[in-house]
Structures are given as structure tokens and as C-alpha cells.
Structure 1
């Protein structure tokens, strides 16, 4: 097995284990906590995420993409991360009580205080994590991340059972950060990195400034809607929208999140060896069109039973939100490739420019829609997601010399798979009288039919993913 395939295997194993644990966390939390609890925590963590992007400053990514890695660079990255993390934690600590007053909910401030402590731990895991990624040692990364997720699940269940409400999620997040910090340093001890130094500060600040600016814009896009809705509509709608977003992100967690940790190191290594990035990008587009688009269509068609199974009957307002948002997010299948491609090409500035073009109009549209209700906010995805995808692909396309026709040719076999998946679901629903509310057994039948239809569509279109599936099945069969 090649190094890349081995890395992908462990990355996916980690993500799928994390998804199973995350679903357990979601199912337990949805039954032990209220929508108001989720809303308070969502507002608090949104504020922290706005600051956290400054804390990261792209130090880990900088170490991964360096052509040669020296100890001075690692020490400089750690020192700068400590200074920035301490400053961010101090700002959050001072702002916690005023934030609680601003939202009329003291719990927001309490959540912010606990999460601010977690920021202080992150610099101590950055050197070890970056070096493990650079070595493609995703087996050790997977072990630590799974342990962290499991610790967070146990903490949420225990603390929520004791009646801590939204604070159960805050303390569990701190516990997860502590487990990650200890685990990464045990998996790859680099205690020499904790010696302060600033020899390479210019390179880190230059790269980090562009990376952080891009991150700020994107985090604002992710968090500002929740802050706006919390102010305009209250905590409960924030909780409903947050659960809908979580459901819509399940396909990304199942598929793209397993690729994310591997893609940048692999592309950076490919570029260092003088390889063209055109073919890897088209292959990535082809694979993501074959999995992301069908997954979002299936989610839109089965929104009601999926929400009921995962969250319970008390979240009946979420399925309509999921259906609308999933249809808009169909267009985001090439999005996850944009950042690693531009970084590997040495075009970190383009990531900021692309974000500045697409995200401000999206935020303006959300702000206009918020007073009209949560469904109006969800419907903005039908406009904002295609806009963001178009801008992202445009920047990459120009840098590697691709035409829109070439991108469409890479994506169309995945659309045939989508038709097969939708046909499978419709076949089951037609037998059941075209009901959208299916029980557990009926949902499993619909998902099985969807999977068979998807495979049939990929086979008919000659998609290369079929070869990968056959190879994976052969390895599993031999192992069994």
C-alpha cells in the first residue's frame, strides 16, 4: 500500500470513528439538553471561534508546507503561537461578562471563559501535530483525535446528566483540548520545540498574516449568522439552525473531512517534487462530485427520518431547514480543494482575495433575511453556496490552466451517480405511498436502495471511483 493510501486509510478511520462518537454525542446531547442550551453554547463558541482564528495564525500549516524544516522554525512557530494565544485568551476573559450582558444571557459569558482556557493549551500541541502531518503519520494522529473525541463524549454525558446544561459542552471541550495536548506530545515528543525563539519570525508572520486574514473572513462567515440570529431572534432559533447545519455537514464529515488532513501535505510534497497539480485537482473534483452531490441530494430527500433518528421527535422544526440548506450546499463539492491547492501553488494571498469576493455578499444576504425568520436564513444557502463555489473554482482554474468544460467533464460522472441514488430512494418511497416520514426500517431500506442506485450510476458512467471500491473490497476480503 502506498504512503498516500495508508495515510488516507488512517485519516478516514479516524474520521469515521469520530463521526460515530460525534453521533453518540449528538444523540445523547439532544436528549439531555434543550434547544436553549445548544443556543447559548452556539453563541459562546461562535465568539470564541472569531478569536481562535487569530490564535492559530497558520503556524501549523506554515510548518507543513516548508520545503525544509529547521528547529528554529518550529521554535519560532511555538513562541509566536504562545504570545498570540495568551493575548486572545486575555481578550476573551475580559469580554466574557459584557458579552453575557449584551445577549441578555449570562451563560454566554460563562461558556466563553471556559473555552478561553482551552486556547492556552493549543500552542503546546502545534509543533507535534505539524510534524506528524508532515511525516504523514496519520495513524498516531488518528489515535489521539479519537481518544479526544471519546473523552469529550464521556464528559458531556456525565456533566449533562448532573444538570450542568450548556456548561457541560463547554467543560467537555476543555477536556478534549487537554487530551489532545497530552496525546500529541506523547505520540511525537518534541519538547525541544518549547524553547522560546524568534529566528524565523518574518516567514511565519508573512505566511500567517495571509492565512489568518483568510481564516478570519471564513470564520466570520461561519459564526456571524449565529450571532445575528441570536440577537434578532433569540437563542432557540440559533439552536435549531445549529442542529440543521450539523446534519447538513454530516456528508462532509463522512467524506471530505477524511481527506482534509492528507490533501495539503500530499499536494505540497507533489509540488516540491515538481509535479503538475492539474491532474490531482481534476481527480479530486471527479471524486467529490461522485460523493458530495449524491450525499446532499439523499439528505434533502430523507431529511425528516434522519433528523428524527439522530435528534429525536422534539426537533421537528429542523427537517425543513435541512432540506433547503442541503439543496444549496450541493454546489460546494469542489470547495475543500481550494485552500490546499492554492497553498501548494504558493498562492496563499489568493485564498484571502477569493474569500473577500464571495463572503461579504453572503453575510449581507443573511443579515437581510434574519428579520424574516429562520427559514429565510436557511434559504440564502441557495444563493450563497453556488457563489462561493464559483469564485473558489475560478481562482484555482486560472492558476493551473483549466477550462470550465474540463471541470464539467470531470464532474459529470458523479451526476449520473446522483441520478441513480435519487432513483433508488424514489423507488422505495413509491412503494410506501410517497411518504417523507419513514420509520427506522424504511429509512434503512431507502438508504440501501440509494446505495445500489449510486453504484449502478457510477458503473454506467465509468467513474474511476469504481476501481477504488473494487480494490478496497479486495483488500478487505483478503484481510477477512
Structure 2
């Protein structure tokens, strides 16, 4: 098993464990918090995320990962810049908490933002050490720390929710989890000298960060803008509904993209430095991503009603049409997680910012206009904005890699067949559920089994390249498993 495959395996254990925790916590909190209360929490998260993304990438993880030769002064300078900016963000949030609360006529919002600001004092420590572990492909240690931290978030959030803390429960839970993460990473790293203040390499850190943070803030603000617009123009109940729809729509991101994201940039940079053809790497990657993303999104779209009924309860069924619209729109982002890493790997982080500046402002305008109608219109706007963004990103990547439309069509041909076969199997179970022949839970289980069977058979029929990677993983695990068993002499 290669270092990249081991990294993906550890990253998968990390993300899937966190997905389980997320679904459990969400299912419980959905029964403890009303849509309006959850909407306030979602708004606080949106505000802090947008402000944080504006600055944190100045000395963030991507600078430390992409640098070919990393010195101690590079690490110290990146940490110092990140700490200084994070402290400024914390102060800024404290100052903005009152005005934002008055603007939206919601007194409790002030306290939520003030508490969330505490997270920014912890990020420089956890963010810097996490970046160094990712650079060295030490995803096992990172997975353990993240799982314990996220378990803390889930436990504290649920406990405080039961105690009547309302929307403050998940906010305090997030702070508790970030404290645990920072402590565990500091204990794991132990090299405290690398975190001493220094500005020796600040010019290079800030130079890379100007473009990287620009990309980060543009994308973060776009992702959270619908919730901000809905909160200002509609109401917090609509924010809660839209936020829940986004959570379910992002199931691919949680199950696949978030597994690969920590690995993609260091892996692509390493293959670039080894002299490999990035065009081939890119096409292979989108072939693998699309065969996982498309069937999963269509499964969620087709089975949205039983999923919502079982997971969140009958009171959240208004989310169903939002989920279906967003799932269909998100199929356009099959190469979304590759664009930024590829552009950074070819030394063109500036083009990553330019592509965001071209694609996102018009998309924001469409979302803003839609928010004056209703939350369904906001979800429907994604059918136009996401394909447009995908086309812009692929065109920029294509210029550097020499991609042609036929290259993409060939890479996606087998994935299209696998997706169609999977959707047919799921649609049959959905029809039985709608007819009342199967209960929501029985229909969901049947649809999952049908999807797994149809997806597997279609992979075999098409000879999809994903099968080869499954074989590599199986062979690697077979070689590792005997080493994990204690020998008889040790017993």
C-alpha cells in the first residue's frame, strides 16, 4: 500500500467516524432545537466562517504544504502571521457582535458570536500542527486527534441541548472540541520551538496568502451567502430549513471529498515534483470522483423524503424539495475539489483567485435575487450557478493542462453508465415507498442495498478504474493484517 493510499485510508477513518458523530448529534439536536433556533446557530457559524476565511489562509496550511523545502523559520513565520491575524479576528468579532445583533433585532446573537470568537485563539496552534502532519502524510495521528475532538463536540452539544442552552449548545460544543483538538495536537507535536514568534519569512507567507486567502474568502462567503441573505430578507426558520438541506446535500463532501481534500494537495504536489503528467492525473481523478459523487447525490435526491423522515423527523419534510434541487445542481461539481490543488501545483494560485472572481460574483447576484422570493427559489438558483462555476474552473485548469472537451467526455463516460444503473435501482425502491408498500425505513434500507448492487455490477460491466484501486487497497490490507495479529510467542 502506497503512502497516498495509507493516507486516504486514515483520512477515511477520520472523516467517516466524524460523519457518524455528525449524524448522531444532528439527529438528537434536531429534536431539541426548533428550525428557528437552529437558524440562529447556522447564522452565527456563517458569520464567523466568512470572517475567518478572510484572513486565516495568509499563513495557513496550504502555504506550509506546497513549499518544496520547508525550513524552521518558514514554520515559525507562518504560525506568527496566523496567530496575529487570528487574534485580530477574535477582537473584530467581539466588536461586530453588538451591531450585527441590533441589525437583525436578535439579542441572543451577540452572545453567540462572542463565544464563537474564542475559536480563533485556538486555530493557530491546531492549524499549524495539522498542516505539518498533512505535509508528512501522518494522517493516522491526525485522525485520532480529530475523532476525539469531534466526539467532544457531539457530547457537549447534546448535553447542553438537553440542559436547555438552545442554539448556544452547539456553539459551546464547538469551542470545547477545538480546545481538545489544540491540546492533543500540541502534546503530539511537542516541538514548541517551531511555534515561537518570528517574522523572518513573513513576505513569502503573506505573498502566497494574499491569493490563497482571496480564494478562501470568496468560496466561503459564496457557500454561506444564501444563509446570510435568507436571514436578512426572509426569516430564521427558512435559514434552518436551508441549512439542513445543505447538510444532507453535502453527504458526498463528508463521505468522499473531505476524505480526499487533506491528501489531494500534498499528493498532487509530490507527483508534480516527480515529473508526472498532471493532465493524466487530473483525468484519472475526475473519473474516480464522478463515479462516487453522481450515484450518491442521485440516491439522496431520489430518497430524500424517507431520509428526512427517518433522520430528522416528520416536522422537517419541507426540506425535501430543497435537498432534491441542491443534489441535482451539485452533480456539476465533480471536479470541484481538484481545481485549487492543481492550480497551486502548477504554480498558478493567482489564477485560482481570478477564476473565483469571474464565477462567484454573478452567482451571488443570482442567489440574492432568488432570496427575495422564497427559500425554494434560492435552492433552485443552484441549478444555474453551480454549472457556471464548474465551467469556469475547468476552463482555467484546462489552459494549464491542455484539456479538451473530448478528454472530459471520455473520462466521464463509464461513470455516467454506472450512475444511470444505480439510479434505476434506487428509483424502483422509491416507487414502492411512495406507494406505501414499504415503510420509510424499509424503503431506505432496500434502496441502499439496490444501489450497492447496481453500482457494483455496473463497475464490473464497465471495467471502471475504481475497481483497480479497490484491488490495491485489498492487497495492501491483506499484507498489513498479519502484522497486526500478535504472534503466538507473544501470548
Is the 2:339–2:393 Cα contact (8 Å) retained in structure 1? yes
Q: In the TM superposition, what are the counterparts of 1:90-105 in structure 2 within 5 Å?
A: 90-105=91-106
Is the 1:429–1:435 Cα contact (8 Å) retained in structure 2? no
1:128, distance to aligned residue in structure 2 (A) = 1.4
| Cα distance in 1, alignment partners of residues 355 and 38 from structure 2 | 32
The aligned residue for residue 12 of structure 1 is 12
SS where residue 57 of structure 1 aligns? helix
Is the 1:46–1:226 Cα contact (8 Å) retained in structure 2? yes
The aligned residue for residue 32 of structure 2 is 32
Aligned residue pairs total 480
Deviation per residue, 1:432-465 (Å, 9 max, x gap): 5656984212210111101111112222222111
1:359, distance to aligned residue in structure 2 (A) = 0.7
The aligned residue for residue 21 of structure 2 is 21
| Cα distance in 2, alignment partners of residues 116 and 30 from structure 1 | 24
Judged with a 3 Å threshold, the aligned counterparts in structure 2 of structure 1 residues 308 and 476 are, in CA distance, closer, same or farther, namely farther
Judged with a 3 Å threshold, the aligned counterparts in structure 2 of structure 1 residues 371 and 392 are, in CA distance, closer, same or farther, namely same
1:164, distance to aligned residue in structure 2 (A) = 0.2
The aligned residue for residue 140 of structure 2 is 139
SS where residue 392 of structure 2 aligns? helix
The aligned residue for residue 52 of structure 1 is 52
Q: In the TM superposition, what are the counterparts of 1:337-416 in structure 2 within 5 Å?
A: 337-416=338-417
Q: Which runs of 5+ in 1 are unaligned?
A: none
1:381, distance to aligned residue in structure 2 (A) = 0.8
The aligned residue for residue 177 of structure 1 is 178
Is the 2:58–2:81 Cα contact (8 Å) retained in structure 1? no
Is the 2:309–2:440 Cα contact (8 Å) retained in structure 1? no
| Cα distance in 2, alignment partners of residues 314 and 25 from structure 1 | 17
Judged with a 3 Å threshold, the aligned counterparts in structure 2 of structure 1 residues 432 and 95 are, in CA distance, closer, same or farther, namely closer
The aligned residue for residue 216 of structure 1 is 217
Instruction: Provide TM-score, normalisation by structure 2.
Output: 0.95
Q: Compare 463-472 and 305-314 and name the one that shifted more.
A: 463-472
The aligned residue for residue 115 of structure 1 is 116
The aligned residue for residue 419 of structure 1 is 420
Q: Structure 1 runs of 4+ off > 4 angstroms?
A: 430-438, 473-480
| Cα distance in 2, alignment partners of residues 39 and 216 from structure 1 | 22
Instruction: Provide TM-score, normalisation by structure 1.
Output: 0.97
| Cα distance in 2, alignment partners of residues 248 and 456 from structure 1 | 25
The aligned residue for residue 451 of structure 2 is 450
1:202, distance to aligned residue in structure 2 (A) = 0.8
| Cα distance in 1, alignment partners of residues 123 and 475 from structure 2 | 41
| Cα distance in 2, alignment partners of residues 197 and 160 from structure 1 | 42
The aligned residue for residue 274 of structure 2 is 273
Judged with a 3 Å threshold, the aligned counterparts in structure 2 of structure 1 residues 448 and 114 are, in CA distance, closer, same or farther, namely same
